[in-house]
A and B are shown apart, each in its own frame.
Chain A
Amino acid sequence: LAKTTQPISMDSYEGQEVNITCSHNNIATNDYITWYQQFPSQGPRFIIQGYKTKVTNEVASLFIPADRKSSTLSLPRVSLSDTAVYYCLVGDLPLYQLIWGAGTKLIIKP
């Protein structure tokens, strides 16, 4: 299972675009990249998943370069409610087999 490296924490301001990068140098051919969001006192919530290039949904975009050794979660125009821990997981499906890293604590300031 591929190991991931994320920044421990990040700060940003309301209305800004936030990009969180995850490194996964030993990603395997069958591995997917999945991001979760966790608010305090709640379970993690699925945000987005991708294999290559770019994936976009109503919440975020996921950018994956051709070598797939990293990925970037992009949150457009964040608000205070986006303050949470964001986890990057890499591995073959099913998702429950994936190893959870420490995540990135994102703090949005007014």
Chain B
Amino acid sequence: SAVISQKPSRDICQRGTSLTIQCQVDSQVTMMFWYRQQPGQSLTLIATANQGSEATYESGFVIDKFPISRPNLTFSTLTVSNMSPEDSSIYLCSVDPGVDEQYFGPGTRLTVT
């Protein structure tokens, strides 16, 4: 298994600003992922972040808006840039330690005013 922590757990931000969300895993993993979940809705994959390579973004998500860093095998950050109220959501990171299970962090609840 893998234990994942995220910081911050929640934040309220003004439009036009940026927020960086941190994701820390208690073990080394190759693959890390970032998801978005609107309140009461399902999860949508934003991007895949592998250490040593550029993040791969899903359709509808771009690097300028959601830059991702993956400096080592236990850590990643997602930045939500130039925020608007439409970015209000829960952002989740997850890992796939290669055992056909996916482990999720507790999420970061972002509110943009």
Q: Which residues of B contact A28 (CB under 8 A)?
A: none
- Determine whether B53 belongs to the interface, using a CB cutoff of 8 Å to chain A: no
- Determine whether B100 belongs to the interface, using a CB cutoff of 8 Å to chain A: yes
Q: How far is the CB of A98 from chain B (nearest CB, A)?
A: 9
Given contacts A94-B96, A96-B31, contact A43 B48 (CB under 8 A): no
- How many residues of chain B are within 8 Å of chain A by beta carbon? 21
Best-surrounded residue of A45, A49, A94, A96 (most CB of chain B within 10 A): A96
- Determine whether B33 belongs to the interface, using a CB cutoff of 8 Å to chain A: yes
Q: Which residues of A contact B109 (CB under 8 A)?
A: 41
Q: Which residues of A contact B45 (CB under 8 A)?
A: 96
Secondary structure class of chain B's binding surface, majority of residues: strand
Q: How far is the CB of A55 from chain B (nearest CB, A)?
A: 12
Q: How far is the CB of B1 from chain A (nearest CB, A)?
A: 9
- Determine whether A81 belongs to the interface, using a CB cutoff of 8 Å to chain B: no
Total A-B contacts with CB atoms under 8 angstroms apart: 46
Cβ-defined partner of A43 (8 Å) among B44, B100, B105: B105
The contact sample of 21 A-B pairs, CB cut-off 8 A, is: A32-B100, A42-B107, A43-B94, A43-B104, A43-B106, A43-B107, A44-B104, A45-B104, A93-B100, A94-B96, A95-B96, A95-B102, A96-B31, A96-B33, A96-B45, A96-B94, A100-B42, A100-B43, A100-B44, A101-B42, A102-B41
Could you list which residues of chain B lie within 8 angstroms of chain A, going by C-beta atoms? 4, 31, 33, 41-45, 48, 92, 94, 96, 100-107, 109
